[in-house]
Amino acid sequence: MEARAIYELLAEKIGDGALGFTEGTGDPVADVAPASIVDACTFLRDDERCDFDMMMCLSGIDWDGYDENGKGKSVSILGYTDLGEPETTERASDGDFGVAYDLYSHRLKHKFTLRVRVTREVASVPTVSGVWETANWHEREAWDLLGIRFAGHPDLRRMLLDESWVGHPLRKDYQMPSEWDAVRLSGRDYAKNPFPPIAPPETPTPPAGDKPAEG
Amino acid sequence: MDALIALIQNAPGAANMSAQALHNTAAALMATLMFTVMALCAIVFTWMERKVAGFLQNRYGPMRTGRWHGWAQAVADMLKILGKEDIIPAEADKGLFVFAPILVLLGSLLAWAAIPWAPGFVAADLDLGLFYIFAVSSLVIIGILMAGWSSNNKWALYGAARGAAQMVSYEIPLALATIPVIMYTGSLNTQDIVIAQQGGLANWYIFRDPFLFVAFWMYFIASIAETNRGPFDMPETESELVAGYHTEYSGMRFAFFFLSEYANLFLVSLIAVMVFLGGWWAPLPLLDVIPPALTFIIKGVMMVFFNMWVRWTLPRVRVDQLMHLCWKVMIPIALICVLGSGIIQMVRG
Amino acid sequence: MATEDVKATGWADQDHVPEIKSELLELNMGPQHPATHGVLRLLLETDGEIVYKVTPVMGYLHRCAEKIAEGVNYKQWVVYTDRFDYLAPMCCNHAYVTALEKLMGQEVPERGEHLRVVAAELSRIASHLVSLATFGLDMGAFTPLLYMFREREEILNLLERIAGGRMLYNYMVPGGVRYDVPDDKWIKDVLSFVDMMETKKVPEYNTLLSYNKIFIERTANVCVISPEDAFTFGCTGPVLRGSGVSFDCRRDDPYGAYPKFDFEIPVGQGQMGAVGDCWDRYFVRMLEIEQSCRLIRQALETLPDGPYQAIELKKPVKAPMGAVYSRTESAKGELGHYLIGDGGQTAFRNKVRSPSFCNLQVVTKVGVGQMVSDLVALVGSLDIVLGEIDR
């Protein structure tokens, strides 16, 4: 079935929860309100016409800095100056978080993409791990790397990083800690470096005429 | 022993020795010889295992050390292992941890005493020889259990529990398979068993009757399990239990387990030769020129090779399948062998 | 039986032995364990040999590759995709460039597509060989490992001649492949290798391992994954096909040159036991080797002339704003990239949906109630690569 037709079925089911359907560059995507994502997913899984028995992928997204109207900006991962100080970006963290759900039906062989958007302050989406088991780990990963909480998740622990890690690295405003577990992370500690960086060339001596010559 | 005593008597300066002194000297000589042979066989079989595995797997195995086909590799390994740090885990039960490898080695070493190498050439010519061998080799189980328990390591404990269950179980078919032979011989004395097989291939116990042929294979399978080698290497199962009961062992203590494994391997192979394959008798009259001890050892080494061949070909069975095989398949078959062979003996008179 | 049930009905709680307490043994399998295929850690709760709870713990190989993707440009990130599934790097390259080209709307020359198929399928055979070999090793069969690595070596030699590397190739670039075929002899060598593989080697492996009685005893009817479980846990690739579901991205969601070729999708038949047991998953891989050979032969015999790159190598690529989810069939299963472009040279977000990650989750259900030895068989038959799980 075409994505638009699926969206119409879905909109019929969840009413106001369906926020819109976009087709353009990339995959067609249906925007859904966070509150109705579980209903939407359950419907898509159970309805005979949709029958999405598998969730291919769940991706958390930090939309901070993504400009819908113009050229987007990306943040460099090398956010450190030569002196080892973290480089702060001047952008206010007002971007939303998003979660994209890519679904597939093995029987009907069609795909569908759902997307929810929550504000940075809320950063919480209802879990769909009750709908597809695989969402369990994908959501844990999204929590780990992006700090999106999934309300009602049975076991929302960090997945790839250590429990003691501070922060969520895939956030656009993330600053890597300079030290973790007694390991220095922020690159170079010049005080201890046996090979200090080559000092910038000294200012050339001004011509003799500018200053009174000595003696 | 008798042969050895006779040999010492004939030596210059030994003519005036008392019978007791003669006996003691012979025993000391024999014990030294046994231990040397055992240490040697560990070294030779380590090398042989690697070469056999190599040739079965499309590769060469060790080739460098000692120039000719890496013959000195095992020697070098032994020297290396001697120089290794002896680690006892902090939480281990130290007494048991230290004693376990010694007990394992002791178990296999003691059993060697009753092996008849050549006519009259046996360290302990016991009337209950075969029974004695099976009895003392059970010591190994206690050693393995001690090693696993004292290591304070869950994997080692698993290995030890599996090993104990396996070895206790497989002693039964192992011993049952030899009972028809004992019935034929009418004696448990190891020399008597060999002497009864004199007169070429047809007189070997394996070919005496069809039930004995089956019994031999029962013995062979059980002996692989008894030595904890693949496909029945449950106590080690390196892909499941890391290294099983000797996970925490290193250096010389590990070498003791290693030594005992190969000593046991050679031991069960020699028992197979002794009980079923004619002991020191050559298969053909033509080959009688070979000294009996050499014939015996050659046959033993061939059995060892066969054992290695099996190990490097087959996957490993699961622990419950192993127990199933023992209790539900092999013990009934071994019992049938005892019964069938007994009937044949009765009919033949 | 769940953990609570064991505790509730265990004899420790009965009145006549009040002083003896029994509890489940917590066993730490990994991260350094021979059977976990890398730095995976499984926390087991066991009662003797029976496992009552499996908790995978991962992240020991985490490099935060997705963050790196936001820092380097599109072409530079191809290098990192090699490091995901380091046993089948060509398939990972292919997955990424396919996603990128889908976002860019980039066409790839025919010759480039054919060479990609050849490289990816050779890589798939190599990966399956490692998988089958290590699965045999988990079952205690050491010898097949050496036999299979012998053929893998041949593949690495062939790929070295076309891509320059033996393990990490960085061979595919957006819009084509990096190098053309070195010479005609390479094509001949690949074809003769493929012939040898089909006629001699696969039957040899089957004799040595697949139809071995002990091997069948160990793997048949062990850890059966039902199709429903496979769907809900997102299992793909040989794991899903082993459960009897005929699904393959190469056919059902075609990409590259695959629609042009004729090949079959082997599925688990339950020949030795139930459909979806470890033996089926193992044997599906064996059959897939043959299908990959067919694909390679077709791709090379119909190799068209012409360019193999659409974009000049040194030219940076830009992707428009938009988000795509593109998936390909890697050796381990469905390898997907959720790629958001922002109009620049760098991805705004690149989420990697790795097959091992999703396949592994099934152990939390199927591994329960199995023996420790069977759990080893299950993990081996899932064929996980930790580089891909931890990313």
**Residue A77 included in any domain:** no
Nearest C-alpha of chain C: how many angstroms from A9? 22
Give B237's contacts in chain C (Cβ within 8 Å).
140, 373
Supply the CATH number for residue A106's domain: 3.30.460.80
Q: Which of A26, A54, A141 sits opposite C231 (nearest CB)?
A: A54
Is A132 an interface residue toward C (CB < 8 Å)?
A: yes
Residue type, B276: F
**Residue C1 included in any domain:** no
- The predicted structure's pLDDT at residue C284: 92
- Mean pLDDT to the nearest integer, C324-342: 88
Question: A155-182: per-residue pLDDT in tens?
Answer: 888 888 888 887 888 887 777 676 777 7
Nearest C-alpha of chain C: how many angstroms from B24? 47
For residues C293 and C199, what is the distance between their CA atoms, to the nearest angstrom? 11
**Residue C24 included in any domain:** no
Nearest C-alpha of chain C: how many angstroms from B258? 19
**Residue C255 included in any domain:** yes
**Residue C22 included in any domain:** no
Tell me, what DSSP letter sits at residue B112?
G
Contact A53 C231 (CB under 8 A): yes
Peptide bond into B210 cis (omega under 30): no
Tokens of C112: 């480039």
Tokens of C373: 């030895």
Q: How far is CA C170 from CA C70, C167, C190, in A?
A: 19, 10, 20
pLDDT over 90, % of chain C: 15
Question: C33-91: per-residue pLDDT in tens?
Answer: 877 777 888 888 888 788 888 989 888 888 888 888 887 888 888 888 888 888 889 99
Start-to-end Cα distance in chain A? 94
Question: B94-151: per-residue pLDDT in tens?
Answer: 888 888 888 888 888 888 888 888 787 777 778 888 888 888 888 888 888 888 888 8
Strand-pair partners of A125 = A150
**Residue A85 included in any domain:** no
Nearest-Cα residue of chain B relative to residue C30 = B242
Total of domains in chain A: 1
Question: C296-319: per-residue pLDDT in tens?
Answer: 999 988 888 888 888 887 888 888
Complex ipTM value: 0.83
Contact A106 C343 (CB under 8 A): no
- The predicted structure's pLDDT at residue A68: 54
CB neighbours of residue A24 within 10 Å: 11
**Residue A42 included in any domain:** yes
**Residue A188 included in any domain:** no
Chains A, B in contact, 3 or more Cβ pairs below 8 Å:
no
Strand-pair partners of A61 = A98
Of B176, B167, B191, the C-alpha closest to B116 is B191
Q: Which of C70, C247, C361 sits opposite A74 (nearest CB)?
A: C70
DSSP B11-57: STT-TT--HHHHHHHHHHHHHHHHHHHHHHHHHHHHHHHHHHHHHHT
* Residue C77, helix vs strand vs coil: helix
What's the pLDDT band for C19 if we cut at 50, 70, 90? low
Give A165's contacts in chain C (Cβ within 8 Å).
none
Nearest C-alpha of chain C: how many angstroms from B330? 16
Q: Which of B230, B242, B315 sits opposite C215 (nearest CB)?
A: B315
For residues A155 and C74, what is the distance between their CA atoms, to the nearest angstrom? 35
Helix, strand counts (H, E) of chain A: 3, 9
Give the residue from A46, A74, A109 with the most C CB atoms within 10 Å of its CB, the best one to mutate.
Answer: A74
- Mean pLDDT to the nearest integer, C329-342: 88
Question: Domain residues for A134?
Answer: 3-66+90-174
- The predicted structure's pLDDT at residue C367: 86
- The predicted structure's pLDDT at residue A204: 57
Between residues 183 and 212 of chain A, which touch chain C (CB distance below 8 Å)? Answer: none
Strand-pair partners of A29 = A22
Total of domains in chain C: 1
For residues B57 and C142, what is the distance between their CA atoms, to the nearest angstrom? 9
Is C233 an interface residue toward B (CB < 8 Å)?
A: no
Dihedrals phi, psi of B334, to nearest 5 degrees = -65, -40
Tokens of B46: 């380590």
Judged against a pLDDT cut of 50, whether residue C271 lies above it is answered with yes
* Residue C42, helix vs strand vs coil: strand
Peptide bond into C316 cis (omega under 30): no
Residues of chain B with pLDDT under 70: 1-5, 7, 9, 11-17
For residues B155 and B242, what is the distance between their CA atoms, to the nearest angstrom? 7
- Exposure of C74 in the CB half-sphere (CA atoms within 13 A): 32
For residues C371 and A83, what is the distance between their CA atoms, to the nearest angstrom? 55
* Residue B278, helix vs strand vs coil: coil
Contact B240 C376 (CB under 8 A): yes
Supply the CATH number for residue C140's domain: 1.10.645.10
Question: C-alpha angle with apex B316: B315 to B322, nearest 5 degrees?
Answer: 140
Question: Domain residues for C325?
Answer: 63-363+373-390
> Cβ(C333)–Cβ(C240) under 8 Å?
yes
Contact C67 A170 (CB under 8 A): yes
- The predicted structure's pLDDT at residue C192: 92
For residues C322 and A25, what is the distance between their CA atoms, to the nearest angstrom? 5
* Residue C63, helix vs strand vs coil: coil
- The predicted structure's pLDDT at residue B158: 86
Q: Residue holding tokens 């100056």?
A: A81
- The predicted structure's pLDDT at residue C130: 92
For residues C360 and A90, what is the distance between their CA atoms, to the nearest angstrom? 41
Chains in contact with C, where contact means 3 or more Cβ–Cβ distances below 8 Å, are A, B
State the count of interchain CB pairs (< 8 A) between A and C.
Answer: 127
Q: Which of C140, C209, C212 sits opposite B230 (nearest CB)?
A: C140
Is C44 an interface residue toward B (CB < 8 Å)?
A: no
Buried/exposed code over C236-245 (b: 16+ C-beta within 10 A; e: otherwise): bbbbbbbbbb
Give C347's contacts in chain A (Cβ within 8 Å).
74
- The predicted structure's pLDDT at residue C125: 92
For residues A47 and C366, what is the distance between their CA atoms, to the nearest angstrom? 27
For residues C238 and C380, what is the distance between their CA atoms, to the nearest angstrom? 12
Nearest C-alpha of chain B: how many angstroms from C263? 32
**Residue C182 included in any domain:** yes
Write the Ramachandran bin of B43: left for phi over 0, alpha for psi from -120 to 50, otherwise beta: alpha
- The predicted structure's pLDDT at residue A200: 55
**Residue C113 included in any domain:** yes
Buried/exposed code over C141-177 (b: 16+ C-beta within 10 A; e: otherwise): bbbbbbbbbebbebbbebbebbbeeeebbbbbbbbbb
Residue type, A61: I
Question: C149-205: per-residue pLDDT in tens?
Answer: 989 999 999 999 998 888 888 888 888 888 888 888 999 999 999 999 988 889 989
- The predicted structure's pLDDT at residue A185: 64
How many residues are present in chain B?
349
Give A169's contacts in chain C (Cβ within 8 Å).
64, 67
DSSP C173-223: ETTEESS----HHHHHHHHHHHHHIIIIIHHHHIIIIIT-HHHHHHHTTSS
Largest Cα–Cα separation, chain B = 64
Residues of chain A with pLDDT under 50: 69-81, 84-86, 88-93, 188-191, 193-196, 211-215
